C-alpha cells in the first residue's frame, strides 16, 4: 500500500525469511575462567557450529518505509 503521494510504503503482514546463514560456535561463554568448560556445553546444547542452510530466521510483522524527507520528528 502506498500512501501520501508515494512517500510512504506500508508493508502489512509480511514475512522475511533467511535460511542461508551459518551459526558460529560459542566463544567466551562463562568468561575467561570457565569458557573452556562452558563453550563445549553450549555448543552441544544448541548445535553449533552449524553450516549455512541448516538455520532459519523468520521476522513477521509490519514495516513502514519512507524517504528521509517524508519523515517528521515527533514533538
pLDDT in tens, 11-70: 888 999 999 999 999 999 999 999 999 999 999 999 999 999 999 999 999 988 887 777
Q: How far is CA 14 from the centre of its chain?
A: 15
CB contact at 8 A, 63 and 33? no
Helices (H), the chain: 31-46
Q: What is the pTM of this model?
A: 0.57
Amino acid at each position: 500500500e502506498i500512501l501520501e503521494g508515494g512517500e510512504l510504503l506500508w508493508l502489512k503482514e509480511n514475512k522475511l525469511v533467511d535460511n542461508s546463514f551459518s551459526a558460529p560456535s560459542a566463544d567466551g561463554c562463562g568468561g575467561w575462567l570457565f569458557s573452556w568448560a562452558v563453550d563445549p556445553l553450549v555448543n552441544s546444547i544448541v548445535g553449533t557450529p552449524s553450516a549455512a542452510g541448516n538455520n532459519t530466521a523468520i521476522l513477521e510483522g509490519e514495516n513502514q518505509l519512507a524517504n528521509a524527507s517524508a519523515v517528521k520528528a515527533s514533538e
